[in-house]
Amino acid sequence: MARHDDIPKERQLISASQAGDLEAFNQLVTAYQSQVYSLAFRLMGEAEAAADATQEAFLSCYRHLKDFRGGSFRAFLFRIVTNACYDELRRRKRKPTLSLDDLSPSENGGNEPDGLPVLSDPGETPEEATSRHELRRALEDCLLQLSLEQRAVVILADVQAMDYAEVAESLKIALGTVKSRLARARANLRDCLSSQAELLPSQFRLEEESVP
C-alpha cells in the first residue's frame, strides 16, 4: 500500500499516465507489480498463470486508466487483476488442485511470493525454521481449498492488509458481504488447519489438542 506521503506522487503519476505518459505508468507498475503478482498467485495457485494474469492486468489497467475517477488506485488495480483471475479460473471450471510440494519455491521456479503472514526470526534454529516452513505450507494448502470468493476476501484483507472498504471496492461487493465472507473464510481456514494438525508445528497442535 502507498504510504500517506507517497499519495500526492501517486496521483501525479496517475494523471500523467492518463495523459499518455508511458514512463509514469511504468513507475506505477514498478510500485505495484509485487502486490499484483502476489494476489494473482494466491488466487490462481500457479506461478505461470499468475505471471500471465499480472501482465494482462497491467495492460488492461493502462487501457482503462481513464475510467479511474479517484479513490483507491490499489483497489481499482486489484479489481482488474481479480477479475482476470476469476475469468481464467471459471474458464477452467475447476479450482486449482496443488499438492503441498507444488507450493515450495523449488517446484515453482522460485517465483512464489511471500505467503500468509508467518514472521521469521533471524536467530531461529534450523528446527524452528522448518516448523515455520511447515506452517506456511499448511496455510497455503488450506487457502487453496477455500471457495474463490472466500479466497479473494481473505487474501485482500489478511495478506494484502486492505481495510474492509478497500476490499469491498476491489471486489464490487457490499461491506456486509465482505465481513460475512471473511468470517466464513477464517473459520474454514481454522477447520482446515485443525484437520491437518499432524502437519503443524507442535506449539500449534498443543492448543488445538487441549480443547475438550
Domain boundary among 96, 130, 148: 96
Q: What is the pLDDT of residue 4?
A: 47
Return d(Cα 129, Cα 106) in angstroms, integer.
17
**pLDDT at residue 139 greater than cutoff 70:** yes
Query: Three-state SS for 108?
Result: coil
pTM, full prediction = 0.71
Return d(Cα 19, Cα 11) in angstroms, integer.
12
Let me know whether 133 and 206 are in one domain: yes
Let me know whether 89 and 13 are in one domain: yes
Residues in the chain: 212
Let me know whether 71 and 154 are in one domain: no
Q: 143-196: per-residue pLDDT in tens?
A: 889 998 999 999 999 989 999 999 999 999 999 999 999 999 999 998 888 876
Let me know whether 56 and 126 are in one domain: no
CATH number, domain with residue 183: 1.10.10.10
Return d(Cα 59, Cα 56) in angstroms, integer.
5
Write down the residue that cell numbers 481479480 correspond to: 82
| Domain interval for residue 199 | 121-212
Whether residue 102 lies inside any domain: the answer is no
Count: domains in the chain: 2
The answer to whether 54 touches 33, Cβ cutoff 8 Å, is yes
